[in-house]
Structure formats: C-alpha cells, structure tokens
Amino acid sequence: MEWKISRGKGLCMHCQADMEEGRIFFSALIDAEFEFQRKDYCSDCWEKKEEAVFSYWKTRVPDKDSTKKPTIDNEALLQFFQRLEPEIEPAKQNFRYLLGLMLMRKKIFKFEDIEREEDKEFLILRRTGSEERHRVFDPRLQKDELEKLKDDLYQLLYLEV
C-alpha cells in the first residue's frame, strides 16, 4: 500500500486562524494508518487539543518580506528521528534514514561506521560532541525513490507561505 502524507492548509485546525506573520504555530504529526497527518494549531488551541501526537514542533511564521523559509529547528528534527527509532514500518524507516542524513548535513550527527548484518546495512551515527550513537537502517533507496522521499518529508515539515 502506498504510504501517504496529508497536511493542513496553513490554518489552525481548530479555530481556523490564519498563519499571520510573527505568529507562533504548533505543528503536529499524527500517526494515522499508512499516513502521517500534519496538523497545525495556533498556540491557544494547542493547549486544548486532545489528539495523540507522534511528534511536534513550534514555528514562528516569518515576515512576508523575509527571504528565509520557515524552518523547523534541529531539536524538532532530532526528536522526530528518535521517535521513529522503534518503528518497523518501511516508510517510517525510510523517513528515519533521511532524517539521519539531514542531521548529518546539519552536523548534529557524524558518520561513524557502517554495520552489516546478513544482507542489511546500518549507518552508525554519533551525535556531535557526545557518545550518543544511533543505528540507522539503510533502505538503499534508488536515486528517484530518495528524491520522492525528500519531497514527502519537506511537504510534511515545512510551511508554504
């Protein structure tokens, strides 16, 4: 089955408030069957929501003239990465692998080693400045699969303004 992503439209899920400049929003990932749903909430509604959240982060909507894209902070990426660790669904393992690569690019992780187990490969990543290590299954994706995965992850994580 194709694994999907769905997300809101730049409005608070609950009160429909717009994502105005400078406003703080909370973005939550909800683990629905075969799908992560991205739901955005304004800070008032965030306090009141009752849904079970897989992972979440806080965003400040950037000023309109700002050339900077709204970004998700490294802590939130790391939290999502760690939250995915026990998951065995291939789509989630793929996300974890890609997040591992992103965190390496951001120098949060350092590549340390490759471990092989039968026909499987795992990346051993060490958190910069610590002894914390993570073992990440390498799904050995083809180039086009990796591109598709990147698009999916960006859609899930970043705001369109």
Which chain residues interact with Zn ion by CB under 5 A? 12, 14-15, 17, 42, 45
Q: How far apart are CA 148 and CA 154, in angstroms?
A: 10
Asked whether the CA dihedral 126, 130, 95, 82 is positive or negative, the reply is positive
Q: Which residue type is seen at 84?
A: L
Q: Which residue type is seen at 142?
A: Q
Nearer to Zn ion, 15 or 114 (CB): 15
Nearer to Zn ion, 42 or 91 (CB): 42
Nearer to Zn ion, 45 or 99 (CB): 45
For residue 49, give Cα distances in angstroms to 33, 36, 40, 63. 20, 17, 11, 27
Q: How far apart are CA 152 and CA 73, in angstroms?
A: 18
Nearest distance, CB of residue 85 and Zn ion, angstroms:
31
Nearest distance, CB of residue 83 and Zn ion, angstroms:
24
Nearer to Zn ion, 12 or 77 (CB): 12
Nearest distance, CB of residue 8 and Zn ion, angstroms:
11
Nearer to Zn ion, 14 or 126 (CB): 14
The distance in angstroms from the start CA to the end CA of the chain is: 31
Nearest distance, CB of residue 13 and Zn ion, angstroms:
7
Q: How far apart are CA 34 and CA 2, in angstroms?
A: 8
**In the numeric block, which tokens belong to residue 33?**
């069957």
Nearest distance, CB of residue 23 and Zn ion, angstroms:
10
